[in-house]
Amino acid sequence: MKILVVGGGGREHAIIRKLKESPLCGEIWCAPGNGGISYNAHCKNIKATDLDAMVAFAKEEAFDYAVVAQDDPLALGMVDRLAEIGIPSFGPNAAAARIEASKVFSKDLMRKYHIPTADYAVFDDPAKALAYITEKGEYPTVIKADGLALGKGVLICEDEASARDGLKEIMEDKKFGASGNRVVVEEFLTGPEVSVLSFTDGKVVKPMVSSMDHKRALDGDKGLNTGGMGTVAPNPYYTPEVAQQCMETIFLPTIEAMQREGCPFKGCLYFGLMLTPKGPKVIEYNCRFGDPETQVVLPLLESDLLKIMLSTTNGTLADTEVTFSNGAAACVVMASGGYPEHYEKGKEITGLTEGQISGSPAVVYHAGTALTDGKLVTNGGRVLGVTATGDTLPQALEKAYAACESIHFEGAHKRRDIGQRALKALL
């Protein structure tokens, strides 16, 4: 099969490397891709959100299958557009992608179908939102922009003043554009967070191994929120009992709710969960694989990824094997100095041969790299996701951190404590 993967980060790199293990996988392309991905797939520099150009390219190359990995093209209807020209894809159509693209949609869905989540109210008027917050008087309070905001549309406000500033930023200054036309004001929940990615064909749901993200930029969960500085899998808080409870109260009800709303979800549905004292609750849904969760989940997948993906599209997931190894995986992100704020690009990366560390058991997933004049250089905030597997989490972490030592670029920044919280939970 000739395959197109839409996107260009570490997640897409991990998807491509796994797809290539499938005997069904033939020529593979990535658009836009990146420098490191170009060692494993043909790259075509088309923006993931440029639907017209992507569809024209897909038609010209006559792909058999597409994997739309990124949230914004999914929300814009890339899967619908490719279907119109006869190319089936992995991923939800635009109607189903609303589960991530609109917080109001997802919160209303959870309320209607009694899926556990934080209490909330929706506002299109900042004054009314502030009045609601001050009347409640419970801090911290959580304010979320309705639409996609590059993962930055969630504000945790410690007091009235910061809530007022946050509402102004989102709703009046339009920091996230039209995404901030409406906001969800939400109850603050506490407890360990768990990411569970799942495959679904709209009828059946098969969860993948659980994982834990590390969102803040600095050690000890300090600093600004980022796209994710590292991940481990499995997540030790996600015990078999919790998994069972999530299946019954969250996963199956969500799949059924989407069916009943007339927009069955096909693809990868990501459940961002918080294990609160009152049981597991949904913090957010994503309509796609997580990044960098994918970088630890897919290395543990033993079954054929391409077969699974095709089965979600064809509605045959019930009969398709999805098994994971019992081992552990760890991914340490090497980021540009200054990320997630201002950072420079174009720094030469040394220590890699064709994008990988020769002789190392670790795999380097490229998030933000470019090849210029045959040299690999940094080209984004998150640059590399250095990943290793092992029988146990300490083994995986040791291998991943050891591998990081052989990679260098000016200003490189990584967290030193990826997996430490998980290790404590294991004690």
Partner whose binding site includes residue 228, from ligand GLY, ligand AMP, none (CB under 5 to 8 Å by kind): ligand GLY
Partner whose binding site includes residue 118, from ligand GLY, ligand AMP, none (CB under 5 to 8 Å by kind): ligand AMP
* Residue from the set 163, 167, 189, 194 that interacts with ligand AMP by CB under 6 A: 189
Instruction: Indicate the residue type of 2.
Output: K
Q: Is there binding between residue 198 and ligand GLY (CB under 6 A)?
A: no
Going by C-beta distance under 8 Å and a sequence separation of 6 or more, which residues neighbour residue 48? 6, 7, 8, 31, 32, 54, 70, 72, 73
Q: What are phi and psi of 122, to 5 degrees?
A: -110, 140
Q: Is there binding between residue 121 and ligand AMP (CB under 6 A)?
A: no
Q: Is there binding between residue 291 and ligand GLY (CB under 6 A)?
A: yes
Q: Is there binding between residue 154 and ligand GLY (CB under 6 A)?
A: no
* Residue from the set 3, 283, 298, 330 that interacts with ligand AMP by CB under 6 A: 283
Q: In the structure encoding, which two tokens stand for residue 241, read together?
A: 């009992």
Q: Is there binding between residue 12 and ligand GLY (CB under 6 A)?
A: no
Q: In the structure encoding, which two tokens stand for residue 282, read together?
A: 């949904």
Size of the site for ligand AMP (CB under 6 A): 13
Instruction: Indicate the residue type of 155.
Output: L
Distance, CA of 18 to CA of 11 (rounded, Å)? 11
Going by C-beta distance under 8 Å and a sequence separation of 6 or more, which residues neighbour residue 64? 1, 2, 3, 87
Q: Is there binding between residue 224 and ligand AMP (CB under 6 A)?
A: no
SS3 call for 419: coil
Which CB atom, from 231 or from 360, has the smaller least distance to ligand GLY?
Answer: 231
Q: In the structure encoding, which two tokens stand for residue 341, read together?
A: 């704020």
| Shortest distance, position 215 Cβ to ligand GLY, whole Å | 7
Q: Is there binding between residue 72 and ligand GLY (CB under 6 A)?
A: no
SS3 call for 10: helix
Which CB atom, from 123 or from 285, has the smaller least distance to ligand GLY?
Answer: 285
Partner whose binding site includes residue 142, from ligand GLY, ligand AMP, none (CB under 5 to 8 Å by kind): ligand AMP
Partner whose binding site includes residue 293, from ligand AMP, ligand GLY, none (CB under 5 to 8 Å by kind): ligand GLY
Distance, CA of 197 to CA of 235 (rounded, Å)? 12
